[in-house]
Amino acid sequence: MVSKLCNDIFDTCIQDYHLVDEVSTASNNPYPVADFEHLLYAKNWVDTVQWHLEDIIRNPAIDPMEALSLKRKIDASNQVRTDMVEYIDSYFLMKYKDIHPKESATINTESPAWAIDRLSILALKIYHMNIEVNRTNAIAEHTVACTEKLAVLSDQRKDLSTAIDELITDIAHGNKYMKAYKQMKMYNDPGLNPVLYQQQIK
């Protein structure tokens, strides 16, 4: 099933990152560039690096110039994440291009790739919540609270995995159809962000 493939690759990618645990570390993607697995690993690597950038920028003692630099990196990372989601949807569109949806077919509230995006983030939440559960210097109340949260996150991953597999099966059988909408993020576009294009006019 697609969800198992995603979860296995995401877990492996997160473990690979934490061998070094440094946001500047380059990805050593083990899959051939043309493979779907390569795309999944690359997607989760970007998510994992951004997770840690978000941690760093929240340091209340951070130097303002460093924070600005990190904000720029996070903005760029968000654009890459969005692009990669669109690549994943393109994979599914190509894979099922010859499927003719039934007249009764309906569209899902989100595309397969955006659901997979949430699965990637869940893998990160589960990994880091596991760390909190096993922290030896944490108070008992913290451990109990994190254990409860970990159980909820695990249920979420199970339910989301089931939903993704059902959605893709429905698309394959013509019971659902999909569209891939460009996210059209405006703040990164110098032609759409008024703060940016007004600078060009001056």
In 3-state terms, what secondary structure has residue 52? helix
Tell me the pTM: 0.89
The whole-number pLDDT of residue 179 equals 83
pLDDT in tens, the chain (202 residues): 899 999 999 999 999 999 999 999 999 999 999 999 999 999 999 999 999 999 999 999 999 999 999 999 999 999 999 999 999 999 999 999 999 999 999 999 999 999 999 999 999 999 999 999 999 999 999 999 999 999 999 999 999 999 999 999 999 999 999 987 766 565 666 665 665 556 666 5
Answer for the pair 39, 80: CB distance below 8 angstroms, yes or no. no
The whole-number pLDDT of residue 145 equals 97
Q: For residue 134, report the phi and psi dihedrals to the nearest 5 degrees.
A: -100, 10
The whole-number pLDDT of residue 96 equals 95
Instruction: For 67-108, write each residue's pLDDT tens digit.
Output: 999 999 999 999 999 999 999 999 999 999 999 999 999 999
The whole-number pLDDT of residue 78 equals 93
| H-type alpha helices, 96-136 | 112-133
Q: For residue 60, report the phi and psi dihedrals to the nearest 5 degrees.
A: -65, -20
Distance (Å) of CA 85 to CA 40, 43, 89, 112:
9, 8, 6, 9
